[in-house]
Chain A
């Protein structure tokens, strides 16, 4: 991930165009709907751009942390409302997280990602599209780096099985 630009005010657009889709995928993983994911990404990005981009350190880890906080805040608010309003169920299994792949194998893989167990899928999302190291993934999720790496390995093995099963059918 490129460093956040710090000069021209309009640079955020190029930065967001390049990094927005993968950051939105992370936000989508931690939210209940596409609309929530957009809200979360916007809040996290604006907070990051206005207040955090000048901080030293890895900007990627900072903005992923920001996304997680925004998702948690929205989740708490939604939980309050949800007791009366019956929140729409998490539809992560049914939404399209990726651009439509060109071939059947990648399409099957995209579908397989959504079928992973939650704890494995979030490691895949954070490591693969969040560009986080296993140590950083562990910090985000409150687990050790070894556990994160282990979940990653299990996820790859599961994806291979799911893919073989899908393509075999």
Chain B
């Protein structure tokens, strides 16, 4: 860096980012204490895994409620799955990292997203459940010379 801007660099170092809000750590503590959501490591049935709860809830509602009650209670949505999409996966090799044994490897990151479109057949309203995923799925070993 040039001498012209060295003083600016030094001054930047002395700026202190604003402190976290008082309740932030408590909020993080609660989030850390929450039980783990099931991991979707397998790509074989990821769609079923994430869409099943909503589909099951919608089906259960249809089965349990007599049709007369459904008609009487117009406030209850009647969701129908319109379509489900899974965007193509995006695979990227990240920068090399050093492993504990001294060797190097590149983390492999996979990103994809799922979207399920439901329609409330009574009101015509649409519900889109969007589920982005971003995972480090493995390490690709590197040889060094």
Contact = CB atoms under 8 A, between A and B. Distances in A.
Given A57-B97, A69-B134, A99 B25 contact: no
B72 interface: no
B9 interface: yes
Given A128-B13, A156-B9, A57 B107 contact: yes
A38 B24 contact: yes
Contacts, number: 114
A139 interface: yes
A97 B25 contact: no
Given A52-B136, A98-B18, A156-B8, A17 B130 contact: no
Contacts of A12: 28, 32
A105 B15 CA distance: 11
* Prevailing SS type, chain A contact patch: helix
Nearest to B5: A156
B8 A160 contact: yes
A37 B32 CA distance: 18
Contacts of B139: 56
B57 interface: no
Interface in A73-91: 73, 76-77, 80
B136 to A, nearest CB: 6
15 contacts: A13-B29, A21-B20, A25-B17, A56-B139, A73-B132, A98-B15, A105-B11, A109-B8, A124-B12, A136-B95, A156-B9, A157-B4, A157-B5, A159-B5, A160-B5
Given A45-B28, A46-B31, 12 more contacts: A16-B28, A24-B20, A42-B27, A42-B28, A49-B32, A50-B32, A55-B107, A69-B134, A99-B18, A109-B15, A128-B12, A139-B94
Interface of B: 1-2, 4-5, 8-9, 11-21, 24-25, 27-29, 31-32, 36, 94-95, 97-100, 105, 107, 111, 128, 130, 132, 134, 136, 139
